[in-house]
Structure 1
């Protein structure tokens, strides 16, 4: 006869599928990125990136354009984010 092995750890069964959690910050970022001001700044950033990538030697970076774009997105998100958190 075989003996049953006893475990010190409790057996845990997987729960049924849980609904996927959605990050409210990411949802707001996506929504804010569709705004007119954000889209204009993204186009400006993309134009800078294309210009920099087309040159072999350049000291130009697009950090200012990137920071401006993220500033607008973050400002838009900040006004609604904390009302969405539990």
Structure 2
């Protein structure tokens, strides 16, 4: 099978799971909005980002 015919199924499953993870996504987006004016660089939304992707990964694994 030629390489161009290979499709990454993980991306398909991730996209299909994203609508099921709206709450963590909204929490992440709210955090980003809250800290967008932070000039110190100390504030971040890493926790919310990983919570969102944890939700997506958990959905994909089911």
Task: Give the aligned partner of residue 25 of structure 1.
Answer: 10
**Alignment correspondent of 2:28:** 45
- TM-score, with structure 1 as normaliser: 0.61
Judging by fraction of residues, say which structure has more helix: 2
Q: Deviations over 1:6-36 (max 9, x none)?
A: xxxxxxxxxxxxx74432110000010011x
Larger Rg: 1
Residue equivalent to 2:19: 34
Q: How many residues are paired up?
A: 61
Runs of at least 5 residues in structure 1 that lack an aligned partner in the other structure: 1-18, 80-86
Q: Distance in 1 between matches of 2:24 and 2:5?
A: 32
Q: Which has the higher contact order (CA 8 A, sep 6+)?
A: 2
Gaps of 5+ in 2: none
1:32-81 deviations in Å (ceiling 9; x for gaps): 0011xx111111101111111122225221111011111110000012xx
Contact persistence 1:52–1:58 (CA under 8 A): no
* TM, length-normalised to structure 2: 0.80
